[in-house]
Amino acid sequence: MEYPSELLPFLLKVMANRSRNSVKSILSRGQVTVNNHIETKYNYRLQPGQTVTILKNKAAVKESTFIGMSILYEDGDIIVVKKDAGLLSIATKKEKKKTVYHQLMDYVRRENSQRRIYVVHRLDKETSGVMMFAKNEQVKQALQHAWKENVKERTYVALVEGKLTKDKGTIASRLKESRTHLMYSSGIKNDGLHAITHYHVIQSNKNFSLLEVRLETGRKNQIRVHMQDLGHPVVGDKKYGATGNPIGRLGLHAKVLAFEHPTTGELLRFEADVPKNFFDKVK
């Protein structure tokens, strides 16, 4: 260090090839030391002569302990992860430990046995992509109570059966849950929860269509039901009308989650690459 600077601006300068979110995550996860002590404060004031070290291996050790998931971003309030298809978000009666929630709980308790995480929203087991957890009750409440206002973009990619006749459209219905826990669109006025889904076709052939899907509301199984209503069920989704499973998983991926940080108000945007086998089916 040759001149005084706050730690975050200094790191952004020396790691110019990384995104701002990535640098902030490196800092907040304790991968940065100043004169051999770990420093996590963004506004820590550096002085001339101090040595700043980035501990790359620490992240690798942490990430290697996760199965079917990886951390995209972490700070004192939230953790954003990318989940693979086949991994539960939270426990069920049959499976308690092989979940995103359980793995993250173990992860935060390695540093402090009193810490815990809080569920903000969920992804179905067979849906991959971006999801977020809170690190304290207050942040969880803040996110859930103002979810519609705070979330600025929530985009999915869906591989569906058949070729759509319209390149884009909107599906609106009122969703209800049956006694067998199947969601469906009710034909009765004001019955169930209002759900709105927007879609447009990215690519298609005579057998499959790849859609970008934007949620205006976030109801349980909303995309899956609305694709069934459209006559083009999500690939692999036998529960909601699919005839086969040519990719060995549900053809649904949470691609983008963008939201205002509940504490700082900063707009954060996270994206998970669409699985290659989605594109392979529409070539």
Three-state DSSP class for 53?
Answer: strand
**Contact status, residue 89 vs residue 123, Cβ threshold 8 Å:** yes
The DSSP call for residue 66 is -
The amino acid at 17: N
The DSSP call for residue 162 is S
Which residue stretches of the chain are H helix? 7-14, 20-28, 56-64, 100-109, 137-145, 147-150, 222-230, 276-280
- Give the CA radius of gyration of the chain: 21
Residues constituting the chain: 283
Q: Would you name the residues annotated as active-site residues?
A: 124
Distance in angstroms (rounded) separating the CA atoms of residues 128 and 262: 24
Distance in angstroms (rounded) separating the CA atoms of residues 240 and 251: 12
Query: Could you please report the per-residue DSSP string of 183-239?
Result: EEEE-STT-SEEEEEEEEEEEE-SSEEEEEEEESS--TTHHHHHHHHHT-PBTT-GG
Measured distance between the N- and C-terminal CA atoms of the chain, rounded to whole angstroms: 52
Distance in angstroms (rounded) separating the CA atoms of residues 164 and 65: 42
The DSSP call for residue 273 is P
